[in-house]
Chains A and B, each alone.
Chain A
């Protein structure tokens, strides 16, 4: 099974609302990353949070990490139609850090104008 699993699988909200996506993982990690993918395009890195951090902000993005629960959440505030995309969490397991990432199944976010 995937190292990272996102929840929910799909989310539909109105413009201006906040969107929260969750990610759970299984093994110890050095960091956790969130990526965005617009339909039919490559992934774009959004934010990285290290295992010794609990919260990180970047513009309208807020990421939290709870290593005791092996979970992370991505909050997008004041969403816009342009935020419509799939969002993936990705983790490099500690023992393979520096070589590969394991991606979750993703959350499909739709922001309705």
Chain B
């Protein structure tokens, strides 16, 4: 997990509220990713960004939004349009060039009450 921080570790939200999950990295990596993981399941890609001020939708982008104003930061907003947001959210980074290896943060567990 070193070099990538996600906050908060646990987050509780009432239905109808937007919430923003933080992801910060000091690895100087160009690419950043957001994944969603449901219990006992694999990872599904929400959004990714290969460079500052640019990002692409992943497989399950509906109800989520992101921004990439700084290389170090890639916040994810879970909007009220996301029908079932309770899940474990993982942020990852990858250096440009080299291999496709990704480095993961410790995750944020979001629970909608």
- Spell out A's residues near B (CB within 8 Å): 2, 30-31, 33, 35, 40-45, 48, 88, 90, 92, 97-106, 108
Contact = CB atoms under 8 A, between A and B. Distances in A.
The size bracket of the interface on B is: 20 to 34
Nearest to A30: B100
B31 to A, nearest CB: 7
Interface in B23-42: 31, 33, 35, 40-42
12 contacts: A2-B42, A40-B109, A41-B106, A41-B107, A42-B92, A42-B104, A42-B105, A42-B107, A48-B100, A48-B101, A90-B102, A98-B100
A33 B104 contact: no
Contacts, number: 61
Looking at A35, A42, A108, the one whose CB has the most chain B CB atoms below 10 A away is A42
B42 A92 contact: no
Contact of A44 (B35, B48, B58, B104): B104
Contacts of A104: 42
A15 B30 CA distance: 40
A10 to B, nearest CB: 9
Contact of B99 (A41, A48, A99): A48
Output the residue of A35, A97, A100 with the most chain B CB within 10 A: A100
B42 A105 contact: yes
A101 B104 CA distance: 13
Nearest to B106: A42
B53 to A, nearest CB: 16
A88 B43 CA distance: 9
Given A42-B90, A90-B102, A100-B33, 10 more contacts: A40-B107, A42-B106, A43-B92, A44-B104, A48-B99, A48-B100, A88-B42, A100-B48, A105-B41, A106-B41
